[in-house]
Amino acid sequence: MGMWIGRGVKARRCYGFDEIALIPRSLTINPQDTDLTWRIGTLELEIPILASAMDGVVDVRFAIEMGNLGGLAILNLEGIQTRYDDPSEIIKEIISPASEKDIESVQAAYSKPIKETLISQRIEEIKRGGGYAAVSAIPQRAERFGKIAQKAGADIFVIQSTVAAPKHISSTYKSLDLEKFCKMMRIPVIAGNCVTYEVALALIKTGIAGLLVGIGPGAACTTRGVLGIGVPQATAVCDTAAARDFHYKQTGKYVPIIADGGMVTGGDICKAFACGADAVMIGSALARTKEAPGQGYHWGMATSDVNLPRGTRIYVGVTGSLKEILFGPARLDDGSQNLIGALRTSMGSLGVKNISEMQLTEMIIAPAIQTEGKIFQAVQKVGMGSSKGDAEAGI
């Protein structure tokens, strides 16, 4: 399988969400009768949307509100929230400089050491607010921060890196034994990110409770440009979901796939579920909320890297409250608001009752799906001709 790209070299054709479309069948369902609940470990959540562990998106206040609305927000334990007693002041500095100094200002803000006391404090603040405390760290700090987070009452621990693999070799630091770590932790462990069947299957076998899928599709991520690594999200989700299903048939243990990045509109989210996702993690769409600490600015976790940044700072604007963007009513015509309403309506139109059935939806390759008949929208920059392209460009 594959196409020739040169003498003796073949490459497989892969697809992004913009290149596929969903096909309805001979049944429709009232959208209000659809079930969006999903499970991660022992937790059952009302909506299958997670907020990315990015400092422009999630702080304590946002995590509490996201939990109140039935979702889950991931707090970055290596970000602004654990480096500063009052994160609001440093965020003002990050979002204020002229564009040519964006990276330098972010790098400077993240040069201050992490305060481990703030890890416990932030988790306790979220718990006091009634939300689920889900937190993240890179593999090198997972053992240390995992113990602190678990003791403080965290509900979920996320290990996140640009590219995750079941084995890692390093001559300068001790590599994380993921299987041992999962056995040590008494709370669910989510790990990622990956994009292939083989790696997904190997990671799932370590005992993780959830798998993050996606390398470089995020609006503020530059990994694909800097490193040349990545797989378009539709194909990545399909391949990793196949690994999940194979593992389930072998062991009876179901490990949810979480599509991470590359989704700007409700339509993108619907396609992610049709490709096999159990939940989605989004950043830029939620960075637009009034509750987001970035006040309309959004930057990736690797933006602050002092040697080779793999992210940038973008402006997405503030378009509504978290409740409006998740549940409506939509005040924009571009699909960026009422994401849950869009998912329910899509499921109803496709005749599926829950996420598991959504994963069985027929799909087609449709390169013209975004442009066919949309010349007026494109020229006038309304509807499908407006925010998606703008958001991806950081406008």
Q: Hunting for tokens 């790098």 — which residue is that?
A: 107
Catalytic pick from 83, 288, 310, 313?
A: 313
* DSSP bridge pairs for 373: none
Helices (H) and strands (E) in the chain, counts: 16, 16
Of 317, 327, 332, 321, nearest to 384 by C-alpha is 332
Are 80 and 91 in contact by the 8 Å Cβ rule? The answer is yes
Beta bridge partners of 4: 10
Contact of 244 with 197, CB cutoff 8 Å: no
Measured from the Cβ of residue 349, the count of other Cβ atoms closer than 10 Å reads 15
Distance CA 287, CA 333 (A): 18
195 with 203: CB under 8 angstroms?
no
CA distances from 146 to 50, 152, 158, 210 (A): 20, 10, 9, 16
* Calpha distance 80→364 (Å, rounded): 43
Any catalytic annotation for residue 221?
yes
Q: Which two tokens stand for residue 281?
A: 């993690």
**Annotated catalytic residue within 83, 122, 194, 221:** 221
Angle between helices 60-68 and 116-128 (to 10 degrees): 30
Burial grade of 99 (CB within 10 A; 0-12, 13-18, 19 or more): exposed
- The answer to whether residue 238 is catalytic is no
Give the catalytic positions in this structure: 221, 313
